[in-house]
């Protein structure tokens, strides 16, 4: 009994100590200051103030004697950002006219052959004239820009568009003369970043629009870089490098730094871009997913869209898991990644005379033709996770002079090679695991390397296990064109279903995002590693960060060709003309699984820019459509105000549905027979309405649903024919889905296509049972 009592008292004492420590930590946390973005109701400013800045300052002063405003916002949102304690933030949020006080969010970057692959070569007559395109301005939100590149050459370009109100901000290693008639604007936003992580060290990064990372230069030149002959990386992918909209103007907004991208800086940049007069915002950045009224970037994007600006964002690199998307707001164009028909093969020859083809961009001294000892990293490591070749995990005595097999995942691919080299290894075979399947991503490694698919990697590891003296060598890298099948959906590309609003299908579409050649910074080597001293003008990298600017540039082309089109109309044109199958009729492959992909992987399909210029019909959407969509989410008037900066009250007599948003795709969430609330059960019926606008010549369109029989769902479209007699005439139709119950987790897919024999307006339909 005494022992039990002692144990009980000991347990109580531990709990008391833990509670005290937790309470002290909680108290300290509440006293620690952090950055908040304060969103206000602009119309609620008291009459005693002459302008909003006075009101903001007084509101801030009432809760903190020391806090100062970082930024004030007037376009993307209304409000300001500042540094507060938790208690001060809570006190401020209680004040009249304050809509929300949201803590700073840290976001991450989603990191020549392309024009030919997209069909942009030899089709100049179909595209808008140079003068039309040069009036369009693409704002790129990223790590800045390296202005000396030939990709920013302004030869032959006319004066800066008269509507441009931006400028070129002077800073470290960046002069006003760094801008020209191509790169017409460059600004940096660092206040939130510096408040969170301390002052910028000029020895490591430039406090200016200059790009020390390379990512921003790559994305901006992908979107709208000038044509540069002879572009290549170490001789690979040689040819003419050009952006999607080579004559469009570029405005660089540096919002990302070595420590990440912070929401207060991003919103400040969006606020300025709206004021400056950009037509497209390209943002290869992502974070978590939250309700639209708690997502300050989604709110800023809404207000940009409301002013006619197309906002294009990357879907994320968290694939192939389901529901891994970011940037899912329906007013944002969300872009996933596919491959090109080009790769860079490197052959692995084993001692058992078996050969396996991988990829690489290594161009240094090759391995000898003779065989070299081969080991698996897990067998030459001190750690249980040694197979990943993370820093300081390999045993030099067991690695020296050998080729090491490392598994992909957890740390950067090129860093694994650095670890092998540091341990004395002479080469690396980077093996995919089941998460990556047969996806092959090439990198500019610092030692002879071949990245191989899962099947080859498993075979090589099996050989090591079964052989007393395993050996290998890695052949010279080449450039291979015409690779088939292509495109395939990249394994890393984030997937649906939409984790926030299942009734909106995301991603919207895919575009090239694997092994993309574009401009690079002069500050960092192609791997981005500190000890990579190589300098290149162009680099080949992969990610939805690369696919996003492809669509941003193509949106600029469409804006130039059809300046009267809304952002929704431009997105519709890109989506309804996208393709989902190869020329042989087979559906685009998902490289992660090796089987046919679905609309949760590719959205409406792979972008087809030539067809998008003349889509025939578009699904347009207005601000009011998006407001009604928020009503369907059961948002209160206050929540709608936070999400949109607009006063709107939902009509209680109306039955709002997310499915009625005039979106170019259909997502139909269903519930199983045992499911409860809001969805479909056995033999349930749901009806969606859509409206098409004619942007072509008068014509009659007929609808076809394929396949004609969808498992467990009957699809009825009424009417089955729509006659358009004039430009911008609108016609509506309804789609009725009659569904029977399926097991939870089941999915089914179809396509709905309107055609006049010349145009094919195609929409994916995705069903999910939960």
- Per the residue annotation, which of 78, 215, 218, 759 is the catalytic one? 215
Q: Spell out the residues 6+ positions from residue 646 whose beta carbon is closer than 8 angstroms to its own.
A: 623, 627, 640
Q: Is 708 a catalytic residue?
A: no
Q: Is 218 a catalytic residue?
A: no
The DSSP H or E segment spanning 23 is helix 2-31
Whether the CB-CB separation of 576 and 618 falls below 8 Å is answered with yes
State the alpha helices, DSSP H only, in 606-750: 609-612, 623-632, 637-644
> Per the structure block, which two tokens stand in for 366?
């090759």
Whether the CB-CB separation of 512 and 540 falls below 8 Å is answered with no
Interatomic CA distance for residues 293 and 49, integer angstroms:
27
Q: Taking the alpha carbons of 459, 465, 466, 471 in that order, is the dihedral positive or negative?
A: positive
The DSSP H or E segment spanning 428 is strand 427-431
Whether the CB-CB separation of 106 and 196 falls below 8 Å is answered with yes
Interatomic CA distance for residues 215 and 365, integer angstroms:
27
The CB density around residue 66, as the number of other CB atoms within 10 Å, is 10
Q: Spell out the residues 6+ positions from residue 262 whose beta carbon is closer than 8 angstroms to its own.
A: 35, 104, 105, 106, 107, 192, 193, 196, 255
Whether the CB-CB separation of 479 and 236 falls below 8 Å is answered with yes
Cα-based angle 178, 181, 182 (whole degrees, multiple of 5): 80
Cα-based angle 448, 453, 458 (whole degrees, multiple of 5): 95
Interatomic CA distance for residues 232 and 247, integer angstroms:
21
Interatomic CA distance for residues 35 and 33, integer angstroms:
7
Which residue is listed with tokens 């170490």?
Answer: 234
Q: Is 215 a catalytic residue?
A: yes
Interatomic CA distance for residues 53 and 166, integer angstroms:
22
- Per the residue annotation, which of 135, 142, 265, 407 is the catalytic one? 142
- Per the residue annotation, which of 545, 572, 665, 748 is the catalytic one? 545
Q: β-strand 249-254 against 183-188: which pairing, if any?
A: parallel
Whether the CB-CB separation of 357 and 347 falls below 8 Å is answered with yes
Whether the CB-CB separation of 278 and 139 falls below 8 Å is answered with yes
State the alpha helices, DSSP H only, in 43-129: 52-61, 86-93, 114-117
Interatomic CA distance for residues 37 and 77, integer angstroms:
10
Q: Spell out the residues 6+ positions from residue 533 whose beta carbon is closer than 8 angstroms to its own.
A: 525
Strand order of the β-sheet with 760-769 is 666-670, 760-769, 747-755, 699-706, 721-724
Interatomic CA distance for residues 704 and 716, integer angstroms:
10
3 state SS of 573:
helix
β-bridge partners, 118: none
Query: Which of 225, 188, 237, 190 lies closest to 209 in space, CA to CA?
Result: 188
Interatomic CA distance for residues 723 and 751, integer angstroms:
21
Q: How many CA atoms lie within 13 A of 179 on its CB side?
A: 23
| Residues with a known catalytic role | 142, 215, 545
């Amino acid at each position: 009994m005494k022992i039990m009592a002692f144990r009980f008292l000991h347990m109580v004492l531990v709990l008391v100590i833990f509670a005290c420590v937790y309470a002290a930590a909680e108290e300290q946390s509440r006293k620690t200051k952090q950055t908040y973005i304060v969103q206000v109701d602009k119309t609620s400013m008291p009459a005693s103030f002459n302008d909003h800045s006075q009101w903001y300052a007084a509101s801030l002063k009432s809760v903190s004697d020391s806090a100062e405003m970082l930024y004030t916002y007037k376009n993307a949102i209304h409000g300001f950002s500042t540094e507060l304690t938790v208690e001060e933030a809570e006190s401020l949020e209680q004040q009249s006219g304050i809509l929300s006080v949201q803590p700073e969010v840290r976001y991450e970057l989603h990191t020549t052959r392309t024009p030919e692959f997209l069909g942009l070569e030899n089709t100049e007559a179909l595209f808008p004239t140079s003068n039309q395109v040069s009036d369009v301005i693409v704002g790129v939100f990223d790590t800045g820009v390296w202005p000396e590149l030939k990709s920013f050459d302004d030869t032959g370009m006319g004066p800066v568009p008269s509507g441009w109100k931006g400028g070129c901000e002077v800073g470290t290693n960046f002069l006003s003369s760094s801008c020209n008639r191509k790169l017409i604007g460059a600004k940096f936003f660092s206040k939130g970043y510096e408040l969170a992580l301390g002052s910028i060290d000029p020895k490591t990064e430039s406090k200016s629009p200059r790009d020390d990372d390379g990512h921003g230069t790559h994305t901006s030149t992908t979107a709208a870089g000038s044509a540069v002959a002879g572009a290549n990386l170490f001789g690979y992918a040689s040819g003419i490098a050009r952006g999607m909209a080579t004559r469009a103007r570029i405005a660089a907004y540096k919002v990302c730094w070595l420590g990440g991208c912070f929401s207060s800086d991003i919103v400040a940049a969006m606020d300025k871009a709206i004021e400056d007069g950009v037509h497209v915002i390209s943002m290869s950045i992502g974070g978590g997913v939250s309700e639209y009224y708690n997502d300050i970037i989604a709110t800023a994007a809404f207000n940009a869209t409301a002013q006619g600006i197309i906002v294009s964002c990357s879907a994320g690199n968290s694939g192939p898991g389901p529901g891994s998307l970011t940037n899912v707001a329906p007013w944002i164009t969300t872009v996933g990644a596919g491959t090109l028909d080009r790769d860079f093969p490197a052959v692995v020859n084993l001692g058992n005379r078996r050969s396996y083809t991988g990829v690489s961009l290594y161009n240094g001294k090759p391995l000898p033709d003779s065989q070299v000892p081969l080991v698996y990293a897990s067998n030459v490591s001190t750690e249980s996770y040694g197979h990943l070749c993370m820093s300081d995990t390999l045993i030099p005595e067991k690695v020296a002079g050998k080729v090491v097999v490392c598994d992909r995942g957890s740390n950067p691919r090129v860093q694994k090679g650095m670890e092998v080299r540091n341990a004395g290894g002479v080469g690396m075979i980077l093996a995919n695991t089941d998460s990556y399947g047969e996806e092959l991503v090439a990198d500019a490694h610092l030692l002879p390397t071949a990245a191989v698919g899962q099947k080859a990697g498993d075979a090589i590891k099996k050989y090591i296990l079964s052989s007393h003296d395993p050996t290998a060598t890695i052949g010279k890298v080449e450039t291979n064109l015409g690779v088939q099948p292509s495109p395939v959906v990249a394994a890393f590309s984030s997937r649906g279903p939409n984790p926030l609003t299942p009734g909106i299908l995301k991603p919207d579409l895919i575009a090239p995002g694997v092994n993309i050649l574009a401009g690079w910074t002069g500050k960092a080597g192609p791997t981005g590693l500190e000890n990579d001293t190589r300098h290149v003008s162009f680099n080949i990298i992969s990610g939805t960060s690369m696919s996003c600017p492809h669509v941003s540039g193509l949106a600029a082309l469409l804006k130039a060709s059809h300046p009267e089109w809304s952002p929704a109309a431009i997105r519709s044109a890109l989506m309804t003309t996208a393709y989902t199958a190869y020329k042989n009729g087979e559906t685009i492959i998902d490289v992660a699984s090796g089987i046919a992909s679905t609309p949760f992987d590719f959205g409406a399909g792979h972008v087809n820019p030539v067809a998008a210029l003349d889509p025939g019909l578009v699904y347009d959407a207005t601000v009011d459509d998006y407001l009604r969509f928020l009503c369907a989410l059961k948002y209160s008037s206050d929540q709608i105000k936070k999400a949109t900066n607009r006063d709107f009250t939902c009509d209680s007599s109306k039955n709002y549905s997310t499915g009625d948003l005039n979106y170019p795709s259909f997502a139909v969430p269903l519930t199983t027979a045992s499911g409860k609330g809001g969805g479909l059960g056995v033999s349930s019926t749901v009806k969606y309405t859509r409206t098409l606008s004619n942007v072509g010549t008068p014509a009659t369109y007929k609808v076809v649903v394929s396949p004609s029989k969808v498992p467990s769902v009957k699809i009825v479209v009424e009417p089955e024919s729509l006659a358009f007699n004039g430009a911008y005439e609108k016609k509506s139709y309804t789609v009725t889905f009659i569904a029977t119950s399926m097991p939870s987790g089941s999915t089914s897919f179809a396509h709905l296509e309107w055609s006049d024999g010349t145009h094919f307006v195609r929409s994916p339909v995705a069903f999910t049972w939960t």
